[in-house]
Amino acid sequence: MTTNPLLTYLRDHLAGARGALELLEYLRDHAPDQEIRTAADNFHSEIAADREVLEQLTLQLGGGPSVLKGFSAWLTEKLSRLKLGSVGETVDLPLLEAVEALALGILGKVALWDALIAIAREDRSLPRLDYYSLRARAQHQHDRMELHRLRLATLVLSSDTVATN
């Protein structure tokens, strides 16, 4: 069976988006920080919309979601909850690491759109989408998530906070 590298790449990103959506749902429902709960809710709708675009693109190229990759993303998110399972009443390292993982995932989405911008210049079979707008939206998402990450880093990692714990 011949595999299409582009479809594999898109399926990897679809799986990553699924994991991100599940992590955002968890944070929306369980984070001890109200600002993170609100942000998780907002990011969830945006990332769900981006995932829908990616899913449609995959279908237009003749592929569908990979059951194995989807399961892998689901399992990874569930395993990450083991660490987050200790999310309690305070803002702590597991919360910071969850937000950091989301920020890194969004950077991966920026890289995805960059790759598709480069491909679209050469490959006329790639569906015509406004990849530049999708990239800009992902960059804006990352910039906003990064503000949350840095705020949490200050709360969790500052020597004043660490000294009292």
pLDDT digits (tens, 9 = 90+) for 109-153: 999 999 999 999 998 889 999 999 999 999 999 999 999 999 999
In a domain, 9, yes or no: yes
In a domain, 17, yes or no: yes
pLDDT in tens, 32-80: 899 999 999 999 999 999 999 999 999 999 876 545 444 554 555 555 5
In a domain, 164, yes or no: no
**Rounded CA gap, 95 and 107, in Å?**
19
For residue 128, which amino acid is it? R
In a domain, 88, yes or no: yes
CATH at 18 = 1.20.1260
Residue 4: pLDDT above 80? yes
pTM, 2 dp: 0.84
In a domain, 111, yes or no: yes
Distance of CA 101 to the CA centre of its chain: 8
- Residue written as token pair 């990239």: 135
Which pLDDT value is given to residue 134?
98
Residue 15: pLDDT above 60? yes
Residue 164: pLDDT above 60? no
CB 11 within 8 A of CB 57: no
In a domain, 100, yes or no: yes
Residue 93: pLDDT above 80? yes
Q: What domain range includes position 58? A: 5-157
- Residue written as token pair 């890289």: 111
The total domain count for the chain is 1
In a domain, 63, yes or no: yes
In a domain, 165, yes or no: no
